Copies of this chain bind each other. A is one copy, B any other.
Amino acid sequence: MLKKNYLLAPGPTPVPINVLLAGAKDTIHHRTPEFVSIMESTLEKAKMLFQTKEKVYCLIASGTGAMETCVVNTVAPGDKVIVVDGGKFGERWAKVCKSYRINHVAHQMEWGTAPSGELVAELLAKDSAIDTVIVTHCETSTAAAADLQAIAEVTRRRDCLLVVDGITSVGALPVRMDEWGVDVVVTSSQKALMTPPGLGFVAVSERAWKRIDSFASPALYLCLKAYRQGFPTQDHPYTPAITLLRGLQVALRMMREEGMENIWRRTATLARATRAAVEAMGLRVFARNPSDSLTAVLLPEGFDEPTFRRRLREEYGILVAGGQDQLKGRIFRINHMGYVDATDTLGAIAAFEMLLSDMGHSFPLGAGVAAAMQAAKES
C-alpha cells in the first residue's frame, strides 16, 4: 500500500513546501538591498516568537552552537552559574560550561521532572555567589517542561540572569520574555519554526546586554557583539545562510497569519489529545511535568521498542524518535511542534494502536483515537 512520509520526531520537523521552495529561489547576494530587506523583516517578525521588543539575533549554527553562544556571551569571568539538568539537553549546558571552564553547579534532577520556581529559589538560597541560572524550558529527551514564568520571577527577585534553552519551546509553548523577565532565550530553526536545520536564534534582554558588554567573549564566531554592530542595517558580520533565511521568511509569515496564541493553542490541543490517547491505550506519559511541544510515551516493560519504531516507519511511513541514554528502548517521542495538525496526529495515534495491538499489547482497539478526539473536542 502507498505510504507517505510522516516525520513526527521532535525535530527536524516537517517543512511546508512553500518554505522549501523559497529556499530554492535564484541565489542572491547577502549585501544587496533585496536580501537586507528580507533579513530585516524576518528578524522583526521573529520577535513574536519570544514575545519581546528586543532584537533577535540569527546565526548559522545548530541548537548546540546557539546554546554555546549564550554561555560565551553572558557568563563573564568571576560569574557563577547554576545549570538545572533534567536530561540530555540540560547535560549539554553543563558540557558547554565545562568546555569554557566556567564556575558552575549542575543540579541534577530525575529525568521526567522539570524545575519549578520553588526549586530554583532553594538552589539560589544555598549559594549567594550564583548570578546566572540556566534552565531548559522543555527538555526534549524527556518531554518535561519547566515553569518558566515562576522561575523568571525568582531570578528577577534575586537579580540573576536567566538563560533559557527554548529549542523545543519557542514557537510552540508560550514564552513571554519581556513580561516574565527572561534574559536570554535560544532556539533553532528545525523545531517549531517549520524551517530546515541550520539557523540558531538568540533573543537578549537589556539586562543581559549589560553583562555582555562588561567583558570580552572568549569566542569570535559566536560573539554577539559582532552581530549587534550590524544593526540596524542588518549587515551580517559573516555570510548568512541565505536560502534558509528565505525559507524562514515564508515560515514566519505563515506563523504570523495563524497567530502565536492560536499556534500555542493548537500545540496544546494536539498534546492533550495525544496524552489522552496514551492513557486510553493503557500506556503512560513518561514526564511528570509533560510539555505540550512533544510527548514521551512509556512503553510496557519488556516491549520490543526498536521493532515498534522500525515497523512504524516501514509499515506506516511514520518516523517518531526513540529514547536516549537511560530511556533507550523504554519510550518513544512524538512531536507536536510546527507543521503538524489534528489529522496527522490522529492518524499517527491510529497507527500506534494498530501496531501496538499487532505486537501483543492488549487494549480496546480504537480507544486511543476516541480519547484523543474527545480531548481535542474539549480543548
> B241 touching A198 by the CB < 8 A rule?
yes
How many copies of this protein are present in the complex? Answer: 2
Contact digits for A191-207, partner B, Cβ 8 Å, 1 yes 0 no: 00000111000000000
B24 and A12 contact, CB distance less than 8 A: no
Give every chain B residue within 8 A of A5 (Cβ-Cβ). Answer: 26, 28
CB proximity to B under 8 Å, residues A70-98? 95-96
Are B27 and A12 in contact, CB atoms less than 8 angstroms apart?
Answer: yes
Contact among B7, B99, B190, B242 with A239 in the assembled complex (CB-CB below 8 Å): B190
- Asked if A197 meets B239 with Cβ closer than 8 Å, knowing A9-B29, A27-B7, A60-B65, the reply is yes
Q: Is the CB of B12 within 8 A of A244?
A: no
Q: Which parts of A211-254 form the interface with B (CB within 8 Å)?
A: 216-223, 237-244
Q: Known: A29-B12, A99-B219. Contact between A60 and B198, CB under 8 A?
A: yes
Q: Is the CB of A196 within 8 A of B62?
A: no
Q: Are A220 and B95 in contact (CB under 8 A)?
A: yes
Q: Would you list which residues of chain A between 6 and 51 have a CB under 8 Å from chain B?
A: 7, 9, 11-15, 17, 20-21, 23-30, 32
Taking a contact as CB atoms closer than 8 A, the residue among B29, B197, B216, B239 that contacts A241 in the complex is B197
A197 close to B63 (CB less than 8 A): no
Q: Which of B198, B221, B238 contacts A243 (CB 8 A)?
A: B198
Please name 8 further chain A to chain B contacts, defined as beta carbons within 8 Å, in addition to the given A15-B27, A101-B218, sorted by A numbering: A7-B28, A20-B243, A62-B240, A64-B220, A67-B221, A218-B218, A241-B244, A243-B244
Enumerate 27 A-B pairs (CB-CB under 8 Å) in ascending A order.
A7-B28, A7-B29, A9-B29, A11-B239, A15-B27, A17-B24, A20-B23, A23-B24, A24-B24, A61-B61, A61-B65, A63-B239, A64-B220, A65-B221, A65-B222, A65-B238, A68-B220, A99-B216, A99-B223, A100-B220, A101-B218, A197-B239, A197-B241, A197-B243, A198-B241, A198-B244, A241-B241
